[in-house]
Amino acid sequence: MDKARISGLLASFFTLIGLIALLSSGSHFPVYQWPYEAFQGLVFALAWGFGLSVGLSYLVSTVFVLLLLIIAFIAGTKASRCVLK
């Protein structure tokens, strides 16, 4: 694996950690439950706030998180290739 892919994976990882911290920052749950609570909070916001069905809310939340990770991976690899050139 080259340095650009490692940088992309790190960018995706830190983006996921940031998203989890953002969505569960005021939570009273332990840190190991934060990923679950963050995802459930996102699903709840879509279901209650926009009136989507529960199944559709899970689907949209999953696609949103995956797209965010893919965009962070691409940005991390591009930035790494620009810096390491």
Q: What is the pLDDT of residue 67?
A: 98
Amino acid identity of residue 58, one-letter, is Y
pTM over 0.95: no
Q: What is the pLDDT of residue 1?
A: 76
Q: Write the CA distances from 10 to 16, 50, 51, integer angstroms.
A: 10, 32, 35
Helix axes 34-44, 3-23, angle to 10 degrees: 70
Q: Write the CA distances from 77 to 15, 25, 62, 74, integer angstroms.
A: 14, 28, 23, 5
Assigned token pair, 61: 């939340």
pLDDT per residue of the chain (85 residues) written in tens, 0 to 9:
789 999 999 999 999 999 999 999 888 889 999 999 999 999 999 999 999 999 999 999 999 999 999 999 999 999 999 998 7
